[in-house]
Amino acid sequence: MHFPLFGRISFRDYAALVFGFTFLAFESVLHYIILLLPKPVINWFYRRSRALFHRVSAEKQPKHRSPEKKAADQILKARDFGELCAIWGYTHEEHVVLTKDGYLLGLHRLPSKIGEKKKNPGTSTGKPVVYLHHGLLMNSEVWVCLTDAERALPFVLVEQGYDVWLGNNRGNKYSKKSIHHGPNSSKFWDFSMDDFAWHDIPDSINHILEVTKAQKLSYIGFSQGTAQAFAALSIHPSLNDKVNVFIALAPAMSPPGLSAAIVDGLMKASPTLLFLIFGRKSILSSATMWQSIIYPPIFAKLIDGSLSWLFNWQSLNISSEQKIAAYAHLYSFASVKSVVHWFQIMRNAAFQMYDDDVLSPVVRTSVSSYRPARFPTRNIVTPIVLLYGDSDSLVHIETMLSQLPDHTVAKPLRSYEHLDILWGKNVHRDVIPQVLDTLRVYCGASPEEDDDAVVDNCTNKCNELVVE
């Protein structure tokens, strides 16, 4: 009998694999126990963890809450995108897109400035349109869960005079429905980045253009949201005529791998091992449960530790209060298959489509009779601007540029990591002005005010809304 993993990983890796299975089994049992516990018992454990944290923490608790702390508390309690926007005085619209293969995607829209409400929802504003798309294991909330409105890119764009739309991938919090399969079916979760590229991105863009009556829009993606656009633009030539500029924040295409050697080695040796560990539905589906019962500062420490171990990110550019606020909105549902797809990309060091041939050779020879189809990204016509952190372990800019057209512009952000580009302390100085400058060049919109005036106006109005 042949066991494909034997001889490819060490005894230490096998031990880690056994530990992983044991932990997942323990976590599953604990999950069901917690579901059966009455709420008063869960609340008691929550209070005890909070008391223990403050007792052992070296950080002294201030007598008076800072404005950032007040904002963080409100963001932490916000249940959805609408409540997050309401904290800062914005009224949003909700739209639903039916993809060609039957998934219902939630779209969020910010058509009006702070304190204003559009008289005719669901109609054109006549403003230039900007579409933002989130990363892996995220949803649209990650763009608006900042403790200062001046650092939230969608709010700044709205104040600058743009019609702002935010997308959601199939399967996440706002897109967990299909006309063919329910979310409890493994068939519902049988999707990868291929499906985002073939359906989710182009169908969302077509809906936005239909509602706004605009001929083109500007696309801003974060992390996997950039990969989805790279893929979609490369396989849909006509989509290039609908996007006047593609701004890629923390771009992802073919990352070199993970900093955690054991996980990196195991997953590259056999990406489909994830199916054995997590099944064929959603990955890390219990994360929302742990998030709801663990004291937020403790949860933030756990996330920080995980990010440091997996990616070697230190997250020093993100404040403690911002982490507590944002990490509560970080996770959303994603398919195991979409994560398997990423490990296939990393194993082959190529931005390829999902490899359905799980038995394909993993040992490279001088001549190969098989190669998974690659996304033809050098065929993209839309102007591309990359804004990447020079301390981001997932970005190898030379490799990325070699796979993109010559008109691509790359701009490094000094000392920035991956999540810093979303939630860093100085994104209003380092990131947002570059986004605004790029939009002015490519979408032909004349700004209503200069950058500083917009940011100051947004800050002053929003500070009045953050109350005890």
pLDDT of amino acid 266 = 72
In a domain, 407, yes or no: yes
Lowest mean pLDDT across 90-94, 98-102, 295-299, 352-356:
295-299
In a domain, 2, yes or no: no
Query: At 2, is the pLDDT very low, low, confident or very high (cuts 50, 70, 90)?
Result: very low
In a domain, 81, yes or no: yes
Percentage, residues of the chain above pLDDT 70: 78
Q: Confirm whether pTM is higher than 0.75.
A: yes
C-alpha angle 284-307-60 in degrees, rounded to nearest 5:
110
- In contact, 348 and 372? CB cutoff 8 Å: yes
d(CA 409, CA 312): 26
In a domain, 457, yes or no: no
d(CA 37, CA 222): 38
Which residues, other chains included, contact 396 with Cβ-Cβ below 8 Å and sequence gap of 6+?
A: 254, 255, 256
- In contact, 234 and 258? CB cutoff 8 Å: no
Query: At 179, is the pLDDT very low, low, confident or very high (cuts 50, 70, 90)?
Result: very high
- What's the domain range around 184? 65-358+373-443
d(CA 134, CA 249): 10
Of the residues 223, 332, 335, 391, only one is catalytic, namely: 223
Whether 329 is a known active-site residue: answer: no
In a domain, 417, yes or no: yes
In a domain, 128, yes or no: yes
d(CA 244, CA 442): 6
Nearest residue to 168 via CA among 217, 215, 117, 208: 208
- The string of pLDDT tens digits covering residues 355-395 is 987 655 444 555 566 788 999 999 999 999 999 999 999 99
DSSP 8-state code for residue 1: -
Whether 418 is a known active-site residue: answer: yes
- In contact, 339 and 283? CB cutoff 8 Å: yes
Query: At 256, is the pLDDT very low, low, confident or very high (cuts 50, 70, 90)?
Result: confident
- The string of pLDDT tens digits covering residues 399-454 is 999 999 999 999 999 999 999 999 999 999 999 999 999 999 987 654 555 555 54
In a domain, 334, yes or no: yes
In a domain, 12, yes or no: no
d(CA 92, CA 95): 10
What DSSP letter does each residue of 379-411 carry, written as one string?
Answer: G--S-EEEEEETT-TT--HHHHHHTS-TT-EEE
Classify 302 as helix, strand or coil.
helix
List the CATH number of the domain containing 346: 3.40.50.1820
Structure-block tokens of residue 186: 């493994």
Q: Which helix (H) or strand (E) holds 292?
A: helix 287-293
Beta bridge partners of residue 104, listed in sequence order: 98, 177
Number of independent structural domains in the chain? 1
Of the residues 329, 341, 418, 428, only one is catalytic, namely: 418
pLDDT above 90 for 284: no
pLDDT of amino acid 102 = 96
3-state helix/strand/coil string of 220-262: EEECHHHHHHHHHHHHCHHHHHHEEEEEEECCCCCCCCCCCHH
Whether 190 is a known active-site residue: answer: no
Structure-block tokens of residue 282: 């959603």
Of the residues 195, 392, 420, 430, only one is catalytic, namely: 392
- The string of pLDDT tens digits covering residues 295-326 is 888 888 889 998 988 889 988 999 999 999 99
